[in-house]
Structure 1
Amino acid sequence: MIGGSIGQGMLQRGLAQRVVGVGRNAERLQLALETGAVSETTTDFAEGVRSAELIIVCTPVETIPEIVATVAEHCPAEALITDAGSTKAEIVTTISESELGATFVGSHPMAGSEKAGVAHADPNLLSDRVVIVTPTTTTNRDTCERLIGFWKSLGAKVYEMSPTEHDRAVASISHLPHLVASALAAATPESFLHLAATGWQDTTRIASGDAELWRQILQQNRTSILNHLSDFENVLASFREGLEREDDSAILKLLIEGKQRRDALAD
């Protein structure tokens, strides 16, 4: 979905004359062509990147380093390679340790959805949404600015962070919420589901995301997630203690803190 949205956004904004979709599934590539996500397709990686200026790898996080290494063997030396993965430290470290024939700078568009596939692509997906770019100490400044400019041309708000800083931040605002949503959904008795309204549906929406994709994300960022999970467990324990003691003031304080934190996002 993210790759298709980027492709549609580029073509509809006139940011590129050619957007080549490269993949292994011919049927999915055909759908990408039909939905305007790409201008042409191929299952041949070498052919697909032969004259590329910018290459965006939109695959599950465990496969990104291998695919980056593959395309780097065949793309022009001046090509810029980035990705859309939800983790960064392990990906960037692995790629940095290999000798690429092209430049890689990590990216993370914070605009995903529980829905998968190009059929759900949206050309305006990144409009006014956050994209995090993760240069390293060896990243050329002009190259980084080039990547930032690309994401801004799709309407995104771009922030720079180191790969490690990125993983610490998204563990809190992306990865832990997915884990909690999944846990809440799994803990709900199936016999009650027919009563579920917007509260349960909104809170657990992201639990519908691809399970294998999220297994990879949670494993790659497990250290940061575990740290934030401990903080979450402490807050949850405070709620339990307040309920057990029938301490209305403690419960009210926790609810107010949560409301203030959530409301701050809209300010």
Structure 2
Amino acid sequence: MSEGEFESDFSLAQADVAIVGLGLMGASLALALRGHCRSLLGVDTDPNIVAIAKDRQVVDQASTQAEDILPQANLIVLAVPVSGILRLIEQLPHLHPGNVLVMDLGSTKVEICSALETLPPRFDVVGGHPMCGKEFGGLQHADAGMFTGSTFAFCELAGTSAGAKRLADQLSQAIGSHSLWLEPQQHDEWTAATSHAPYLVSSALALSTDELVSPLIGSGFESAARLAASQPEVMLDILETNREATLIALSKTRQQIQAFENLLKEDDNTVLKGKLAQAQTKHQILLEARRAQ
């Protein structure tokens, strides 16, 4: 979109934002954007969700039919699971005349960004992924403050204009997050380590724990196994589109678990204590680096 409005002084305050998917992420984004854009539009395949979103004024207009909503928008946000995002990208040329910025909120970026780059030049595109969320999905858990203090990862693509980057940064700032621009492959490698492998480790912990011990479950187990409560259909999409990077991250985790197992077998408390101290220090380093962003 070399001559589109996003090359001018177009700002978020002028944006008619259409959010496709009014689940946890999409509805939370709508709530967070209230007052920062010209209008909020919503699309969801569930008529009950559409009715609730309108009744609670999550959006100004909503419909189950994308063709009724999307042509009104100059900023379209795809906030459905990864497989749904890929299907929507294929349909967009038939749903909107163009001169619009298309952004996604998908948890993996390589496949989505490749698909975004196939859109006609009349579409400006940015890959996006807010690094926040909850283990429970759905509009009923939507939270306007969910993005506050988080990182919003963005991917600049071949069809991304300077104006589109500026608008993406404005959106990130408006909802209380800070922008981090990454290459799609880099994003997927990093999130495999920070999100996708941890989900599988959390799931393994839940599966390997006998129900008989449940009376003794405390905050430690709850925090360690929390991600296992995530929606399986959403996580399957993520794992399928980031398989190789997740396998590498899992392999690194497995090596560390094996090292702890070996130390326990060797009954060498001195070395074991040293490794536990290393883990404690590494945890502090990781969190301090995160806070410094």
Give 1:77's aligned residue: 98
Distance 1:205 1:34 in 2: 32
Which of structure 1's runs of 4+ aligned residues deviate more than 6 A?
Answer: none
Give 1:216's aligned residue: 237
Distance 1:215 1:151 in 2: 27
Contact conserved, 1:53 with 1:76, CA < 8 A, in 2? no
For residue 105 of structure 1, give the secondary structure of its aligned residue in structure 2.
strand
Contact conserved, 1:130 with 1:157, CA < 8 A, in 2? yes
Contact conserved, 1:69 with 1:100, CA < 8 A, in 2? no
RMSD: 1.5
Give deviations 1:193-240, integer Å, cap 9, x for gaps.
Answer: 222010000111111010111011111101001111111111111101
Shift of 1:100: 6.2
Give 2:170's aligned residue: 149
Distance 1:146 1:27 in 2: 31
Contact conserved, 1:53 with 1:80, CA < 8 A, in 2? yes
For residue 82 of structure 1, give the secondary structure of its aligned residue in structure 2.
strand
Distance 2:264 2:227 in 1: 28
Shift of 1:141: 2.4
Distance 1:188 1:242 in 2: 22
Q: One-letter code of the match for 2:189?
A: R
Contact conserved, 2:93 with 2:120, CA < 8 A, in 1? no
2:256 to 235, 247, 252: 235
1:56 counterpart = 2:81 = no
1:173 counterpart = 2:194 = yes
Contact conserved, 2:41 with 2:61, CA < 8 A, in 1? yes
Give 2:140's aligned residue: 119
Aligned pairs (5 A) from 1:5-154: 5-11=28-34, 14-99=35-120, 101-154=122-175
Q: What TM-score comes out, normalization by structure 1 length?
A: 0.94
Q: One-letter code of the match for 1:240?
A: E
Shift of 1:179: 0.8
Shift of 1:175: 0.7
Distance 2:71 2:119 in 1: 20
Runs of 5+ unmatched residues, structure 1: none
For residue 62 of structure 2, give the secondary structure of its aligned residue in structure 1.
strand
Higher mean alpha-carbon deviation, 200-209 vs 247-256, is at 247-256
Give 1:2's aligned residue: 25
Shift of 1:138: 4.5
Q: What TM-score comes out, normalization by structure 2 length?
A: 0.86
Distance 1:57 1:89 in 2: 16
Distance 2:58 2:281 in 1: 40
Aligned pairs (5 A) from 1:178-197: 178-197=199-218
Distance 1:44 1:138 in 2: 27
Contact conserved, 1:83 with 1:106, CA < 8 A, in 2? yes
Give deviations 1:36-83, integer Å, cap 9, x for gaps.
Answer: 321111112111111201111111101112112323433342211111
Give deviations 1:91-138, integer Å, cap 9, x for gaps.
Answer: 111332354641221100011111111111111111111110011245
Distance 1:157 1:238 in 2: 37
Runs of 5+ unmatched residues, structure 2: 1-23
Cα distance change on mapping 1:18 and 1:81 into 2, 3 Å: same
Number of aligned residue pairs: 265
Cα distance change on mapping 1:152 and 1:191 into 2, 3 Å: same
Give 2:270's aligned residue: 249
